[in-house]
Amino acid sequence: MPSEALHGGRIHAAGRTLGREPGSILDFSANLNPLGPPASVLAVLRRSLPLAVAAYPDSEAPELRRLLCQRHHAQDRHLVLGHGGAALLLLALRALAPRRVMLPEPCFREQPRAVRAAGAEPVFHPLRDLRLDLGSLEPGDCDAVLLTNPHNPTGQLLRPEALGAWIREHPQAALVLDEAFMDYHPEHSLVTRLLDRPRTVILRSLTKFYGMPGLRVGYAFADAATAARMAELQEAWPVGQLELAAACAALQDTAYEDATRAAFHADSARFRAALVALPGLDVLPGEAPFVLVRLRGRSGTDLARQFQPQGLLVRACAQWPGLGDSYLRLAVRGPEDQDRLLRALAGQLN
């Protein structure tokens, strides 16, 4: 299955189709920080050239490892760096080697793809009313569970007390917990609580929150045995030198982090309120940097196609198991960008 069918953010493909520069396209299909990459990251990238591309990357990455362990109050033996979240997901599954993996459905489509690529069988747990009820989530004969918090695509945020209790009640199952969007709610992360749980991996992202998806770098924390197994299976030089430099700069830019969280809370509330006021759609509750909406009697695929010539990209969900063509997932962007999309939606939904 082509990667284009799995992910949003296809601004380069849209640019080729429309004969436009990718930078002129307003992308609501990918859940990226609308502030763009921190100025500190761009500055360090310029300073890093040309040495960063003229030598092999620093495979030990001591500064990035120190910053990540310091941030998460973890020891280095639990940390694994990698070429983005998707690569680390597959690496975690290969290291854990489960036979059957339970996934709430709908789920990010990269997840069942990675489960199958690791030689395991995905077992889907349908969400009632698109909300995960932990009380009904029983692994059964699955030997692993893959959860995302906040959940993608619904945006549901599970509180650490409830999720932590569920995890303690199911010690027999290996666990992969994807916290790709948890930088927006750092107080809800379970990293520090799960470091010693056997057969457990927590995935994190550095590219979404810091608005730099073109630089593929992610990280995971795992119990020491699983982290060591992941390191054994990993290819050489999993993170490039430019990515290492950018990640270190981003993690030290606390002003950018504060500005991002403040903008997210304000822009998300504004966007949700404006969407609720539109006719012809229902807004699902969520706390992630995207909003899932259900269209009444309209095709999300058709709307996405109508918006694209206007330079607007939205994420249709026709190929997303558990959702279907009546849904759109819309990234949270700033007020000016929101207003452009809201005008386009109003013109189609009236």
Compute CA distances 84 → 50, 90, 179, 184, whole Å: 23, 11, 13, 18
Per-residue pLDDT reduced to its tens digit, 74-132: 999 999 999 999 999 999 999 999 999 999 999 988 899 999 999 999 999 999 999 99
Give me the sign of the Cα torsion angle 300, 16, 209, 105. positive
By C-alpha distance, which of 183, 249, 240 is closest to 39? 249
Query: What percentage of the chain carries pLDDT values higher than 90?
Result: 84
With a cut of 60, say whether residue 172 has pLDDT above it: yes
pLDDT (0 to 100) of residue 2: 35
Per-residue pLDDT reduced to its tens digit, 251-304: 999 999 999 999 999 999 999 999 999 999 999 999 999 999 999 999 999 999
At 336, the pLDDT band (50, 70, 90 cuts) reads very high
Q: Which residue has the tokens 């949700």?
A: 272
Query: DSSP string covering 292-305, please?
Result: EEEESS--HHHHHH
pLDDT (0 to 100) of residue 3: 37
Q: Any idea what DSSP says for residue 20?
A: S
Phi-psi region of 139 (alpha: psi -120 to 50; beta: other; left: phi over 0): alpha
Instruction: Write down the mean pLDDT value for the chain.
Output: 93
pLDDT (0 to 100) of residue 280: 93
For domain 3-30+255-349, which CATH number applies: 3.40.50.620, 3.20.20.210, 3.30.1180.20, 3.90.1150.10? 3.90.1150.10
By C-alpha distance, which of 104, 101, 105 is closest to 115? 101
Q: Which residue has the tokens 């760096």?
A: 81
pLDDT (0 to 100) of residue 4: 39
| In contact, 295 and 328? CB cutoff 8 Å | yes
| In contact, 201 and 229? CB cutoff 8 Å | no
Phi, psi dihedrals of residue 8, rounded to the nearest 5°: -85, -165
Domain boundaries, the chain: 3-30+255-349, 39-252
pLDDT (0 to 100) of residue 15: 64
Per-residue pLDDT reduced to its tens digit, 230-254: 999 999 999 999 999 999 999 999 9
Q: Which helix (H) or strand (E) holds 226?
A: helix 224-233
Query: What percentage of the chain carries pLDDT values higher than 70?
Result: 97
By C-alpha distance, which of 10, 6, 298, 323 is closest to 154? 323
Q: Mean pLDDT over residues 158-163, rounded?
A: 97
Q: How much is the pTM?
A: 0.93
**Architecture of the 39-252 domain:** 3-Layer(aba) Sandwich (3.40)
